[in-house]
Structures are given as structure tokens and as C-alpha cells.
Amino acid sequence: MSTPTAAVEGGAAPFGRGTLGGEPEKLQLKVGGMHCSLCTDSIRRAVGRLVGVRSVEVSIAHEEALVEYDPAHVTPDVITGTLEDIGYTVREPDQAEMFVEEEHDLAVARHKAGLSIGLLVAASLVMTAAMLGGPALFLALAMGALALFTAFGPARFILVRNGWQSLRRGIFNQDVLVTASALGGLLGGGVGLAVPAVPAGGFFGATVFVLAFHLIGGYASVLVHVRASQSVRRLLALTPDTAQRLTADDGEEAVPVAQLLVGDRVRVRPGERIPADGTVLGGASAVDESLVTGEPIPADKLAGSEVIGGSLNQTGSLTLRVDRVGSESFLRTVARHVAEARALKPGILRLVDRVLLYYVPVVLIASLVGLLAWTLGAWLLEGEPNWLRAGFAALTALIMGYPCALGMSTPLAIIRASGEAAERGIIMRSGEAFHVFRNVDTVVFDKTGTLTEGKPHLVATSWLHGDPNELLGWVASVEAHSEHPLAQAIVSNAREKGLTLATPEAFEARPGRGVDGTIAGRRLLVGTRRLLTEEGVNPAPLDSLVGRTQAQGQTVVLVALDGQAAGVLALADRVKPDAREAVERIQRLGVRPVLLTGDNERSARAVAEAVGIEEVRAEVLPGDKAAEVRRLQALGQRVAMVGDGINDAPALMQADVGVAIGSGTDITLEAADVVLVSERLATLVEARELARRSYRLTATNVALALAFNGIGVLAAITGLVTPVWAMAAMAVSVSVVLANSFAGRLLAR
């Protein structure tokens, strides 16, 4: 295989055992073969022991590892070789074929689950025939054939790979348990063919049941997890496929964006996305950068202004010089932050894995106790060992010990919760993270589009003289002929007030400055301070009004009438109607709200005060948002991040629970664990309560799944329980877990 490329990032720091310090490098890897959340510890231990490795972060949800290391002491070859030596497969993340493989994995799991259902039906028919007609060799052989086909057909990866690899790593998980149960069934069936006293068909049938139920549970898990974030691919799709590059004679040629070079000139027309980071050479326009920077007000772009690839050009044509391409571009930088955050996301030790950490050794010990009780114990008490009963007790304990419903406990609870969540406008994308939601003690909110509506509104007007409604009507009449978003906000406000708009006698748009128009013989200038100054108007009388407006974090539009300063319009992004109530409900639950935004300090403080948030972090870059979430996590806090923009994606991925607003971008939705489709912030509180009850349902399912089999293990030690009772316990436990999962409602409507 090719050696994965290490992404170099500066920043010297003390290194691990045997290192001297220096410039660290980061190696991000896709790690295949992780069968449970306990695998993360085995990877950390194995790689962390290498001289020169500074840190190892592993994400079981996304099967990725991020290794920070000193290249002077260890190489990527050594790191990947270590992972392969302990049984994992390694490749670079975010390759195109990775997404195809994930879909292939889902299709394979679906096929195996369907085949397993057929095997269960066939085994049940053979078992019924044996019960009605009595034991027969051909029926035992038929069941043996089914068991061998299951074990070395669809389930061979469990026995040959998963169970063995888990034991190699010192991990006691469900794969170890199912392997022991299946091998015990095969061994018991083989003995039964030679010893009539041992029910061969029963042991073989138990093997079929154990493996078939495990495969069905595996499909449920794959179905829940294989749709893990593919956000980098979604992010890069925001960049247009082609760009209009200008030739030496100012002609245009369509070229793939990937072929753009630094220094190229490109033309961007209204309604097109900016193809690359660059500088405006000519033209004027308003560019919507809200999904990129978090600023709700479109930015006016003139010659010399910087633009960001992926932002939306709105009103005019621009000629740009390309300044950054490839890995240095803004979108690629965010993509890198998202990918790193995916590996740095806190690990989740699943409830089932925590239980199995103790349950598996108990089952194995119980099997050994059964063996010793009827060999050594019988010899001490009766003078000779009872080998038949000892083998029967040991093998039946292994079979009884596997709770088939265990693998379905979490997926069924998640499927049940997801159904109710969907009714409330909540989509769960990660079951484990959704369950973690119940323990969240800090909720970090983005501002634009999350706490606010994400678009400008006229919120106030201040006039030096004249009738306010008449003046606003004149301004709106002129602005009605402008395509600028701020102009449309002014017009909408005037119409909401029932003002009648007139047709201007003259109109001229001044790109990047404002508009110049005449209404009823009165000349109006509406726009920036620069527009008034260029037209010979002294804006000084408006300074105090401008200062008060800007102090509240609002955008200012100046108005001049007949050559004299007349007033100020204040525009801002309005707070959502239910934002304050949602924040108050979260605080009553003992959860601390934090506002984290790329917007300016004044706007952030104004919104925070309006919704009741005291802690504010403003003017934060996308990569720094994720770092801020990591800082909170390092303090021992469970963090949920709520956002909707591209700049929120790394933080959403990094958070213990990422919550996206449904109107957000593709990358935001893909990076999140929970999506609020309805955009009502009240559903955030409902989601947390649903997470709490869903986890309780999972815990109940796990307890029910273990109860039948736990009691069965104790009974099996007596050596008097036949494998048919194990199959009955499997069927009953699965039925009970199914009934428990879908009985009643988790939340009342």
C-alpha cells in the first residue's frame, strides 16, 4: 500500500517517550477492523508506545485515527505497520473509493442479514421436524450442514477475523462471545455425532441461531453507522466545477476550477459562486458570505476587496485575481479542520461494550466452572470425573451465554427514538452521540442563522427632521429599484407598515456605495458615508446617531435629502422569536449556554443580551471554533454545538454532540449528529429529553437481553440444560426486546 501522507503543521511541543521535541507532523488514517469502542484503547496503546509519537486520537464512529509524531524519531511507515501488525487495515481518509466502500459494506451487511433470516427459518423447520418425528441422524446432519454453512459462509469473518483479532488485542467484546458460543456449538454438535447421549442437532442449531442473530444485529448497526459524515466531499462540492478564466486578450474560457493557478484572472457573474479565493480587480457587487464567515449582511466588494471561494456573488459582475488554490484555499482549510475534528471527536464507550467488558469474562469463567465442577469436583466427591456432563455443561454455558438480542438493543432503541424525533422535526444521524446528549452540560450556539434569522431587517430609523413615514416611503421607493439585500430589507419594512411607494423620477445605483434617486422633485442619497461625501454632503450631523446604532451591533445606512444629512437607517439580523425561551429552558436544566460566532463583538454582545447568554466568544475563525470546543472539553465538559454555516462545521464535528439547523449547508448537516429540521430552537430541549429516554430504553433492552441468558448460564453449569433451551432463550429475548422497543411513546405529544 502507499504510505499515507502526513499533513505538516507547525507548533513545537514536548514529545512522548524518547523524543527530543521539534516540529510535529500529523498523520490522519482511515482504520478498518474496529469492531467495538474498546478498540480505540488498543490502538492508542499500540501506537502510543512508539518512540516519537506525541498523541493518538481515535474515532470509532468514523473509524479514523489522528497521530501527532516527531518525524525525526518515527515515520508513517512504522505507524501504519504497527496498526497492521495488530490486525487493522489502514488507508488514507476521504478518498473517493472510501464512500463506495461504505455503500458496499451496507449492501453486504444487508445481504448477510437476509441470508440469516433464511437460515433461521431452515433451522427452525429442521428443529420442528426433530421434535415431531424424534431425533434422526439425517436431521442432525442437515442441521450440521446449516451450521457449517453459516459459520464458514456469511459469518466466517466473525470467527476467523473479528473474534481472533479482539482476543489478540486483549478485548472482551461481542465478537469474542459469539465466537466462543459458535465454536462451542460446533464442537458439541461434532461430539454428538459420535456420542448419542449428546444432542448433535441441538448444538448445531444453536450455532445457526447464534450466528444468524449476530449477523442481523450487525446489519442494524451498519445501517445506523455507515451513513457517517462524508462532509469533506459535500464541502468541496460547494465550489463550482468550472470557472470563466480570462485570456490575455480579455476573452473568456471555461476551465475546471482544479486547473486555476495563482495569478489567473476570472469573471464571476450575478448568481454564481466565487470559484477561488482572490482579490477583486474590477467591478462591484454584494457578495453573500454568511455561510462562510457567519456575517448575515452581504459584503460590498469593490476593486481591492478580498473574496472567498464558495461565497455567492449577488448583484454585479466581478473580475478577480486568484490568490489561493488547492490546499491553501479557505474551503480546503475548513475541510482539513473538519477531517481533524472527526478524529479528535471524543470517544464514546458504548453501553453494550461497557457491559460486555465484564459479562464476557463471567461467561467464560462460568463455562470453566462447569467443566471443573463435573471433572475435578465430581472426582473429589464421587471418585471419578463425569466427562460427558462436564463437556455438556461447559459447551452449553458458552451457548447460553450469548444474548442474541444484545446486538439489536441499541439499534432498536435508536430506530424507535428516531421515529419519534422525526415527528418533532429532529433527525438523528449518530445514535451514540445522541445518547451522549443527555449528559451535555454546555451548549455552544452559533449566532447567525441559529439564534437569529440569518437575514437583514430594518430595525430602527432616526431622522433629524421631517415626517418619519414620509421619509421612509421615499427611501423605500428609491431602494425598490435596487437588487441589494439591504435595499430589499428596507422595502419590505415599508410595505409591512402599509406605506405607498412611488416611482422615482430618476434612479442610479452606485455599486459598493448606495443609490441616488429623485422622488417628488426631492433628491435622495441612500448608502454609505463615502457616497454622501462624494456628493458634497456633510455627514457629520449624523455621527451621534451612527455611533449609537453601531454600538448596538447594527449596520448603518445613511440618508441625505436635497444635499443635507437627513437620517440613519439601522439594519440587523433579528433574533428568532423562540430563542430566548429556548435558552432559558436550557439553563433551567442546569446547562450552560455559550455564544460562539465569527461575527463582530458588538453584534455578538447585542444578540447575547437579547437571548440571555452571558458568555460570548466573537470574531472566531472556523478552525478556532473547533479549538474552542476542544478547550471546553479539556475542562471536562460535555459540549453540544448548535450551528448552521460552513464555518460551524469543524466545531459541529468536534463537539460531543453536533446539532445543525435544518436550513444550513450540506457540510453542516453532514457534520452534525442531530439536525433540527423545523428550525424551532425549542426542539433542542425536546431532543435532549428524547436522548435521555432513548438511552434509558437502550439500558432496559440490554438488561432484558442479558437476563434470560444470564440465568441460562447458571442453569447450564448444572449440565442438565439442553441447547434447545438456549435457542428458546434467544427467541424470547429478541421478542421481548422488540416489544419493549416499540411499546408506548418516549415523549408525550
Residues with a known catalytic role? 446
Please give the distance of CA 425 from its chain centroid, rounded to a whole number.
Answer: 17
Residues 83-99 as b/e (b if ≥16 CB within 10 A, e otherwise) read: beebbbebbebbeeeee
C-alpha cell, 76? 508513517
DSSP 3-state of 11: coil
Q: Which residues contact 466 (CB under 8 A, 6 or more apart)?
A: 561, 566, 567
Distance CA 749, CA 745 (A): 9
- Got the DSSP string for 268-318? E-TTPBP-SEEEEEEE-EEEE-HHHH---SPEEE-TT-EE-TT-EE-SS-E
Q: How many CA atoms lie within 13 A of 314 on its CB side?
A: 20
CA angle 310, 313, 316 (to 5 degrees): 160
Tally Cβ neighbours within 10 Å of residue 546.
16
Distance CA 523, CA 219 (A): 71
Q: Is the Cα torsion angle 429, 433, 437, 443 positive or negative in sign?
A: negative
Please name which of 194, 202, 200, 366 lies closest in space to residue 718, comparing C-alpha atoms: 366
Residues 108-121 as b/e (b if ≥16 CB within 10 A, e otherwise) read: ebeebbebbeebbe
Distance CA 545, CA 547 (A): 5
Distance CA 561, CA 474 (A): 10
Q: Which residues contact 297 (CB under 8 A, 6 or more apart)?
A: 456, 485, 486, 555, 571, 573
Alpha-carbon separation of residue 333 from 325, 330, 659 (angstroms) = 11, 5, 22
Q: How many CA atoms lie within 13 A of 352 on its CB side?
A: 29
C-alpha cell, 338? 473538519
Q: Which helix (H) or strand (E) holds 733?
A: helix 723-741
CA angle 362, 364, 367 (to 5 degrees): 105
Side-by-side strand order, sheet with 452-463: 452-463, 564-575, 555-561, 522-527, 514-519, 506-510
Please name which of 176, 178, 180 lies closest in space to residue 167, comparing C-alpha atoms: 176
Q: Which residues contact 82 (CB under 8 A, 6 or more apart)?
A: 46, 47, 50
User: How big is the chain by its Cα radius of gyration, in Å?
Assistant: 33
Cell 466545477 belongs to: 241
Please name which of 724, 33, 739 lies closest in space to residue 409, comparing C-alpha atoms: 739
C-alpha cell, 688? 435532549
